[in-house]
Structure 1
Amino acid sequence: MITPAARGSRAGNRATAERWQRLLENAGHRVEVVADYQGESCDLFIALHAWRSREAVARFRELWPNIPLIVVLTGTDIYRHQIEVPEPTLATMDAADALIGLHDRVAEDIPARFRARLVTLYQSAIAPPPAPQHSIDHFRVSVIGHLREEKDSLRAARAARLLPEESRVRVIAAGKAHNAEWQQMAEQETAENPRFQWLGQLDEQGTRELLTGSRVMVISSVMEGGANVVSEACRAGVPVLASDIPGNRGLLGDDYPGYFPVRDEHALATLIHKAETDPEFLQDLESRVARLAARFTPDREQASLEQALALACQRCSERVGTG
């Protein structure tokens, strides 16, 4: 399995690769995760990210044309690279015997010829222990993920500025800044906005404690392939306020009431204020994420991985047999 993120990285692709390694090894497979493919042989190859793994996939297909290949489609693959750099991105997808999409809208957002080889997989999360009692002094809103353009990471902070003076909302963000510009913006927002704090990158335990101690979590992304933090929130029973994009609708469903238009801090401020002041609305969100939690279990994710492996092997066998 190849991922663009090196060992030790806390990037989402690396976390996905290592989680899948554990799940596949639980099922009896032997898995090696690499960040640089050197032409090794294997029984099956999984590439995370169609565009960023394009050179590895091309090399693998040239050396080993008769071995099954699975390509995992990320948000930037689907919503940026297949549009901006279609030739290499679609070539990687064409090379795959099976594709994995991380939310149930992916089939609508890729060329029709790929749909027969697509497996929808919901990323899993471990259900954390119950959260301690929430503080009555503030209403914590968390934003979890690397600070970068695709995540629109400071939208919740800007929304917090628009809340009424009596609001108890505190927006706490955790995640590594993508570059110096994002670090400067986060530090400046922390200094100027009394309702916002950026904690930087936390370890797994710290991130879990931030999430479980939150009344709601905001995911404000402009594009997503199916964010694992949504799975984590649902498993933790933490309501989600989500930008209205296919990657979020494909996890939470069309009837979920917690959406706001992309990059619209005014609409997000309205939702945050409603969650803070309307107990029935907050309880409704809590009930909905609790019902969704079963979608994001490790057993279900492992079964989807096995489905993708079986489909890739079947299609490869058919392709080789007719080649």
Structure 2
Amino acid sequence: MILLVTPAAPASVHGNDVTARRWQSILRELGCDVRVTNGYEPGEYAALIALHARKSANAIRTFHAKHPGAPIVLALTGTDLYPDLVTSGVEQDILALANRIIVLQPQALAQLDTEQRARTTVIVQSMPDIPDEAPRHDVFEVAVLAHLRDVKDPLRTAEASRLLPAESRLIVSHAGAPLQDDLARLAREESTRNPRYRWLGEQPRGEALRLLARSKLLVLTSHDEGGANVVSEAIAAGVPVLSSDIPGSRGLLGDDYPGYFPVGDTEALAEALHAAEIDLNGYYQRLRSECERLHDLVAPHKERAAWSDVLTQLSLPVPRPVAS
């Protein structure tokens, strides 16, 4: 039995829980029994996989004390890695206890020292192809899938939409849970006064993916990301991405991707949105072509193969063969 600890609430639509549930499914496909919890729970375990170094620190220490010979896999999230491990409050003893470290995109390796990198595996989050949804033809709809937290800068797209010319048909559909009361109040006010913006609140995962699949663009405005699930989902849906210029997105989309804007730069985001809307055969098509080129990056068989390699490195029971 493998214990998989995540700080997210069970069955939530938060990124850590989506990741934990997908990893549970992958590991089961590989022949492992997996128990997902929010902290250490007593039991007989062959290994620990912990999401989030800081929030899972107590579970990691307890697991090591109770199972001193069992391997520990530590997955570092965006709020672990950025701006850096020390500032984020990641304690060195937690890093030292990890037999393997997981990061979600290759640029995260720059945040680790040489010894830590030697123990690290990059596992890009996967997503099966998302079926097409008929787009709205009366508007140019863009999706924001971001919970209301400061690190997500969740109202930046709404603010950018106010700068668009009067003839623009762009609207912003924003799905995300109200995790901060102040941001929830601002989102409600923005929905009332800005005809281009609708905050939909927290949506079931299936509804959020359907929103993404029908949209012309996904906009990600975060200050930091470890390697956002939603970018993998957009690639799987064939939906182009506009993203704040952060390592977590560069590690997935590439340094030459044409859809970056400076973090927190409302005017630059507005310019990118307008260019995508009016230049469908030029700028928009470039974004779309780049995301299509990245399609294989998020293929589920690649994530399964990466986890198979991790299990082998830890000398855990030999997993089932991985289909290509």
Q: TM-score, normalized by length of structure 2?
A: 0.93
1:301 to 300, 303, 311: 303
Distance 1:227 1:85 in 2: 18
Match for residue 234 of structure 1?
235
Match status 1:54 vs 2:54: no
Note the C-alpha offset of 1:81: 6.7
Structure 2 residue identity aligned to 1:97: N
Is the contact between residue 174 and residue 198 of structure 1 (CA under 8 Å) also seen in structure 2?
yes
State the distance in 2 between where 1:274 and 1:91 align: 48
Q: Give the Å deviation of 1:313.
A: 3.6
Do the aligned partners of 1:2 and 1:48 also contact (CA within 8 Å) in 2?
yes
Question: What is the CA distance between 1:36 and its match in structure 2?
Answer: 2.2
The residue type paired with residue 104 of structure 1 is P
For 1:142, the equivalent position in structure 2 comes to 143
Q: State the partner residue of 2:12.
A: 9
Q: Is 1:196–2:158 an aligned residue pair?
A: no
CA displacement at 1:90 relative to structure 2: 2.5
State how far apart, in whole Å, the 2-side matches of 1:224 and 1:203 are.
22
Tell me how far 1:39 sits from its aligned partner: 3.9
> Displacement of 1:6 after TM fit?
2.4
Moved more, 102-111 or 48-57: 102-111
How many angstroms apart in 1 are the aligned matches of 2:314 and 2:76?
15
Q: Report the Cα distance in structure 2 between the residues aligned to 1:8 and 1:107, rounded to whole angstroms.
A: 30
Query: Once the two structures are superposed, what CA deviation does each residue of 1:103-142 show, in whole Å capped at 9, x if it has no partner?
Result: 110111122220001100110112111221x333210011
Equivalent position of 2:264 in the other structure: 263
Q: Alpha-carbon deviations, 1:76-111, whole Å to 9, x = none?
A: 00015723254x533211110000000110111122
Does the alignment pair 1:174 with 2:168? no
More helix by share: 1
The structure 2 residue matched to 1:63, chosen from 63, 66, 76, is: 66
**Using the alignment, how far apart are the partners of 1:312 and 1:224 within structure 2?**
27
SS at structure 1 position matched to 2:151: helix
1:85–1:213: structure 2 CA closer, same or farther, 3 Å change rule?
A: closer
CA distance in 1, matches of 2:88, 2:225: 18
Question: CA contact under 8 A between 1:77 and 1:89: conserved in structure 2?
Answer: no
Cα distance in 2 for partners of 1:76, 1:284 equals 31
Please say if residues 100 and 308 of structure 1, whose CA atoms lie closer than 8 Å, have aligned partners that are also in contact.
Answer: no
Is 1:284 aligned to residue 257 of structure 2? Answer: no
Residue 116 of structure 2 aligns with which residue? 114
Equivalents in 1 of 2:83, 2:66: separation in Å?
29
- Would you say the 8 A contact 2:142–2:216 is kept in 1? yes
What do residues 181-215 of structure 1 show as CA deviations (whole Å, max 9, x unaligned)? 11101101101111100000111221111101110
Matched, 1:43 2:46: yes
Cα distance in 2 for residues equivalent to 1:83 and 1:301 = 29
Q: Equivalents in 1 of 2:202, 2:38: separation in Å?
A: 22
Query: Do the aligned residues in 2 keep the contact of 1:274 with 1:281 (CA within 8 Å)?
Result: yes
Structure 2 counterpart SS, 1:199: strand
Structure 1 counterpart of 2:294, one-letter code:
L
Give the Cα–Cα distance (whole angstroms) in 2 for the partners of residues 149 and 310 of structure 1. 39
Structure 1 unaligned spans of 5+: 315-323
Q: Structure 1 stretch 2-11 or stretch 285-294: which is displaced more? A: 2-11
Kept after mapping to 2: 8 A contact 1:81/1:89: no
Q: TM-score, normalised by structure 1?
A: 0.93
Partner of 1:130: 132
Residues 82 and 88 in structure 2, CA contact (< 8 A), matched pair in contact too: no
Q: Classify 1:85/1:169 alpha carbon distance in 2 versus 1 (closer, same or farther; 3 Å).
A: closer
In 1, the alpha carbon distance for the partners of 2:181 and 2:136 equals 33
> CA 1:164–1:85 in 2, change beyond 3 Å: closer, same or farther?
closer
Q: Write out per-residue CA displacement over residues 143-176 of structure 1, whole angstroms, 9 at most, x where no aligned residue.
A: 0021111111110000000111111100110010
Aligned pair count? 312
1:311 is aligned with what amino acid? Q
The one of 8, 24, 27 equivalent to 2:27 is 24
Match of 1:208 in 2: 209
Report runs of 4+ in structure 1 exceeding 6 Å deviation.
Answer: none
Residue type matched to 2:140 in 1? F
Once the two structures are overlaid, the 10-residue window that deviates more, 175-184 or 150-159, is 175-184
Determine helix, strand or coil for the equivalent of 2:85.
Answer: helix
Instruction: Give the share of equivalent positions with the same residue, in percent.
Output: 42
CA distance in 2: counterparts of 1:80 and 1:249, whole angstroms: 15
Q: Take 2:170 and 2:256, find their aligned partners in 1: how far apart are those partners?
A: 26
